[in-house]
Structure 1
Amino acid sequence: MDSEIVKVDQKIIVGMKLEISLLENQTQTLWQRFMPKLNSISNRLDNNLISMSIYSSDYFHSFNPSNRFMKWAGVEVSEEPIIGDGLEIIKIPKGLYVRFLYQGLPSQAGPFYQSIFQEWFPKSGYKLDQRPHFEVMGDKYKNNEPSSEEMIYIPVME
């Protein structure tokens, strides 16, 4: 499992959020609500899409797939635009992240994430930090295609 520790500057994200759990995963519904609003967002930095998860401080201590967390669908912008129509602004604080390349179907990502938390973290010397987790879906992201690629960012501290 290839990984890289990277410093990430603060990111300003415009998007929509929904409280979900892994058992009641409504990520697809969230993206279906967000995508029609995409062209109304000004100051976009690029064509990448950002999927972000915000977990409570004890989410991973007593992991249960029915635990709820906040899921975001969004894009990065250069400065805060005037927004409306159900869109919100959130900032991802700067800090250290471990970055992984994931290739495959979103529905098959579970074992990949499991190996990060059960294998990579115990061997890494890093600890999970309490900041948003996010994925960047760029040009190589192809929804529901086995060859799809996205970059996964998980916050870490030494």
Structure 2
Amino acid sequence: MQSKIVTREDYQNRINVVIEYINHHLGEEIDLKTLAGISNFSAFHFHRIFKAMQEETLAAYISRIRLEKAALLLRYSELPIENIAYQIGFATPSSLSRAFKLLYGISPLIYKTNQNIYLTKSKEMKTTNQELQRYLQLSAQIINRENQPVIYVRLTGSPDQVDYPGAYARLWSFLAEENLLPAEADHIGIYHDDPNVTPADKLRSDVCLTIHQEVKPRGDIGVKTLAGGRYAVFHYEGPYHHLGTIHDMIFREWLPNSGYELRDEPFFEKFVSDPTNTPPDKQLVEIYFPIQ
């Protein structure tokens, strides 16, 4: 049976259902798992899809909607500030006051008691993707991959702080010590967390080398299988530090128009060029998104 083609309208309708749920449950704890279930998106990728479609993280969206509701209640209701805080999901009136002042520049009390004050949001800097468009071919290649054994080292921390080159060097040294040096191996990076949700110092990534014979794990060097199946492959040429924005572009611009949905598998990158002898703006990376 042929699977249903998913359109941008389908994606937006499912996000709209999530937004309606949030709007009607502002006074409750709103968790990611519940929203992913409501949207019927992959739980693994839900937050990235939401951010791509809304151009705002889930936490930022919920916070903004709560504060906008607070502004309405402060101006047009007789409710005390404490009641408003609890009604829209703030743990304490003081936490509402801090967030309100950060966004609007004045306290809830001043806004409530002075009808001549009109709110203006603090200016936010928005990044543009125009300069990045030349780096990415958004017409993805659809392929089927076999399961691929890899050896790996798990790193935890911000991408600009962890030692990726050192981890790859350790993997190559391990293979040499085991007399298992292959003629060639793919350098793979697997990313388990969304940097818009997980604190930078808690981000987990696996630095991997593909292998073609049996290898036993040792110490913190593990062995696992990179899941096969259907993937959309994007070819990127440019500096590594743009990759996070490139990922967002794929979620926002390609995925809703692609007719595909994502599987509950992490996406990964294959580093094609050698960073030690390739200029930063000429680095070649293949980005693999698991689709169904």
Which TM-score applies when normalising by structure 1? 0.79
Residue 15 of structure 1 pairs with residue 152 of structure 2: yes
Please say if residues 270 and 285 of structure 2, whose CA atoms lie closer than 8 Å, have aligned partners that are also in contact: yes
How large is the RMSD of aligned CA atoms in angstroms? 2.5
SS at match of 2:166: helix
**Counterpart in the other structure of 1:152:** 287
3-state SS, counterpart of residue 218 of structure 2: coil
Structure 2: state its 5+ residue gaps: 1-137
SS of the aligned residue for 1:128 comes to coil
In structure 2, relative to structure 1, the CA distance for the partners of 1:37 and 1:76 (3 Å cut) is: closer
For residues 18 and 52 of structure 1, the distance between their equivalents in structure 2, rounded to whole angstroms, comes to: 10
Structure 2 CA distance, aligned partners of 1:45 and 1:5?
27
In the alignment, is residue 47 of structure 1 matched against residue 180 of structure 2? no
More strand, by proportion: 1
Cα contact 1:52–1:73 (8 A) shared by 2: yes
**Matched-pair identity in %:** 17
Q: Which has the higher contact order (CA 8 A, sep 6+)?
A: 1
**Scaled by the length of structure 2, what TM-score is found?**
0.45
Determine whether 1:111 maps to 2:245. Answer: yes
Q: Structure 2 vs 1, CA of residues 100 and 9 (structure 1 numbering), >3 Å: closer, same or farther?
A: same
How far, CA to CA, are the matches of 1:130 and 1:69 in structure 2?
A: 18
Question: Can you list the C-alpha shifts for 1:33-85, whole angstroms capped at 9, x where unaligned?
Answer: 34133133226462321111234xxx59xx53537553111110013313424
Q: Distance in 1 between matches of 2:284 and 2:265?
A: 23
Aligned in 2, Cα 1:33/1:110: closer, same or farther, shift over 3 Å? Answer: closer
Q: CA deviation at 1:26?
A: 5.5
> Higher helix proportion, which one?
2
Task: Give 2:227's aligned residue.
Answer: 93
| Cα deviation, residue 30, structure 1 | 4.1
Deviation at 1:102, TM superposition (A): 0.9
- Decide whether the 8 Å contact of 1:17 with 1:30 is kept in 2: no
CA distance in 2 between partners of 1:37 and 1:2 (Å): 33
Corresponding residue for 1:128?
262
Distance between the aligned counterparts of 1:115 and 1:69, measured in 2? 20
Aligned mates of 1:133, 1:122 — CA distance in 2: 17
Contact 2:156 2:162 in 1 (8 A): no
User: For the structure 1 residues 95 and 106, does the alpha-carbon distance in structure 2 shift closer, same or farther, using more than 3 Å as the test?
Assistant: same
Change beyond 3 A, Cα 1:31–1:85: farther
User: Equivalent residue for 1:66?
Assistant: 199
Paired position in structure 2 for 1:142: 275
Partner amino acid, structure 2, of 1:13: V
Deviation at 1:152, TM superposition (A): 0.8
The alignment covers a number of residue pairs equal to 148
Describe the SS at the equivalent of 2:151: strand
Q: Offset at 1:27?
A: 6.5
1:127 Cα deviation (Å)? 0.9
Partner SS state of residue 126, structure 1: coil
